[in-house]
Amino acid sequence: MGLFFHVGKYYELMLKVFTKPEKRIMYYRQTVREMEALGLNSVGIVLIISVFMGAVITLQTAYNTENPFLPSYLIGLGCRDSMILEFSSTMVALILAGKVGSNIASELGTMRVTEQIDALEIMGVNSASYLILPKIIACILVFPLLTLFSMVVGVAGGWLAVVFTRVITPTDFIYGIQYAFIPFYITYSVIKMVVFAFLITSISSYYGYYSYGGSLEVGVSSTRAVVHSSVFILLFNVILTQLILS
């Protein structure tokens, strides 16, 4: 019952969101603002976790494959493919669900409980569309770029780990990251991130937009937004992998 209620309400909200904008220039300006607030402001965290994750993947692979029959350049290949296939899309999406998802839910929730959304409605503005559509567009445009950025700095993190620890030679690592490269994996990862970006923004917006009560309820909405976004990211990761790579 609760599930169908939420699915119906979410669908109804999305119908309101995807309507013709009242004034395109206002939506355009809002989208640019959101690209900065939700996308560019996440570059730092993506950089830090990607570098360290790339380094850890490289070290883990190196310490767990000390076999003379396995060529050492496979460590570079492992780092590259782990970053491209899974980490830079799914893991980064989970982290962005925490950062961006809670940001969106708490922002919209606060606007709801302080009657700012009502004020927009009274003015005759389609508040759902004006507040949510620019966030969805901004995230769909910026998150795939963050994925590409994460791939580059993640592999760079692996290289740094190799340079500092000498688990293999940097030359072998560089050879490994170029070996048997399949460009479609990048496309696959970007497609996944586009879907994840939509899930994060729309689910978080749903919980924020329909918040009620006071600060406590806004906190609850924010937590629900992160938890449900994360669950749907994991679910769609399986579905998309089966659809795209099978």
Cα–Cα–Cα angle for 66, 71, 74, rounded to 5 degrees: 90
Largest CA distance in the chain: 72
How many C-beta atoms surround the C-beta of residue 127 within 10 A?
20
User: Can you tell me the distance from the alpha carbon of 156 to that of 82, in angstroms, rounded to the nearest whole number?
Assistant: 13
220, 97 contact by CB (below 8 A): no
Closer Cβ to another protein, 123 or 216, answer by number: 123
Closer Cβ to another protein, 29 or 166, answer by number: 29
Q: Which residues are CB-contacts of 51 (< 8 A; sequence separation ≥ 6)? A: 153, 154, 156, 157, 160
Closer Cβ to another protein, 22 or 32, answer by number: 22
**DSSP states of 110-176:** HHHHTTHHHHHHHHT--HHHHHHHHHHHHHHHHHHHHHHHHHHHHHHHHHHHHHHH-SS-HHHHHHH
Please report how close the Cβ of residue 115 comes to another protein at its closest, in angstroms: 4
Please report how close the Cβ of residue 112 comes to another protein at its closest, in angstroms: 11
Please report how close the Cβ of residue 225 comes to another protein at its closest, in angstroms: 19
Of residues 124 through 143, those in contact with another protein by CB under 8 A are: 124-126
Of residues 55 through 74, those in contact with another protein by CB under 8 A are: none
Closer Cβ to another protein, 114 or 187, answer by number: 114
- The token pair that represents 224 in the structure block: 């629900």
With CA atoms as reference, report the closest residue to 101 among 156, 55, 42, 147: 42
Closer Cβ to another protein, 128 or 233, answer by number: 128
79, 167 contact by CB (below 8 A): no
Of residues 85 through 124, those in contact with another protein by CB under 8 A are: 110, 114-116, 118-119, 121-124
243 binding another protein? (CB under 8 A): no
Please report how close the Cβ of residue 114 comes to another protein at its closest, in angstroms: 6
Closer Cβ to another protein, 118 or 169, answer by number: 118
Please report how close the Cβ of residue 174 comes to another protein at its closest, in angstroms: 46
Among 15, 23, 36, 178, binds another protein (CB under 8 A): 23
Please report how close the Cβ of residue 33 comes to another protein at its closest, in angstroms: 9
**DSSP states of 188-229:** HHHHHHHHHHHHHHHHHHHHHHT--SSHHHHHHHHHHHHHHH
Closer Cβ to another protein, 68 or 124, answer by number: 124
Please report how close the Cβ of residue 143 comes to another protein at its closest, in angstroms: 22
26 binding another protein? (CB under 8 A): yes
Binding site residues, another protein, CB under 8 A: 22-23, 26, 110, 114-116, 118-119, 121-126
